[in-house]
Amino acid sequence: MNPFLIFVCFLGGMVSVAFIVSRITGARAQFIESFPLEPGERTLWEDMEADAWPVLTHRALIQTYPRLRRGAVRVTNQRILCGTRALFSQKHMIEHVLYPSDRPFPDAANGITGGTLKNAYKTLVFERASLARNSDKYAFVEVMLDQQIASSLNLIKFRIYSEKLDSFALPD
């Protein structure tokens, strides 16, 4: 058998499985630019060139960080929306939605997947008092994730890298 043909069949199978799972669960990509805000929710801070991701509990000792500027972060008075630009797209697809632990948060955060199969993004809960600013080579803010919530399995922190952190604000 031709190895290239096996590789193409494998990729086709992965796409087929992903399509079937998305049809069964009803998950659809949602974008920061068009994501509806809840009644009474307002934007406090926004950066369409910020990068954000969770930091794993068990990770490599030495990590490098390429500043891609493909992400986007919107902080509202109720939550933090983080996403990244998909391949060949101009919109930012939501990857993570963070809620403060001292306020009500969706039940999806209590599952290990964080609602990924239902909402197409992961719901995480952070501890408000844990905000730390760092200005090493790349400036970032970091919040500790609530370890009592199941969606934080193997995640310890969440970092937001941006060059506009002077005016960064957490949800009210």
Q: Residue 63 in contact with residue 55, Cβ under 8 Å?
A: no
The pLDDT assigned to 76 comes to 95
What's the rounded Cα separation, in Å, for the pair 42 and 172? 10
- Residue spans per domain, the chain: 1-27, 31-167
- Sheet arrangement for strand 155-161: 51-56, 155-161, 139-144, 132-135
In this predicted structure, what is the pLDDT of residue 67? 64
What is the reported pLDDT for 39? 93
> Given this model, what pLDDT does residue 118 score?
82
Max intra-chain CA distance, the chain: 60
Write out the two tokens for 163: 């060059």
Q: What is the second-level CATH architecture of the domain 31-167? A: Roll (2.30)
CA-closest candidate to residue 80, choices 43, 114, 108: 43
**CA separation, residue 47 to residues 110, 141, 142 (Å):** 28, 13, 16
Enter the tokens of residue 27: 């998950």
Per-residue pLDDT of the chain (172 residues; tens, 9 = 90+): 799 999 999 999 999 998 898 888 887 888 999 999 999 999 999 999 999 989 888 877 776 666 677 899 999 999 999 999 988 889 999 999 999 999 899 998 888 888 887 888 999 999 989 988 888 778 899 999 999 999 888 899 999 998 888 888 888 7
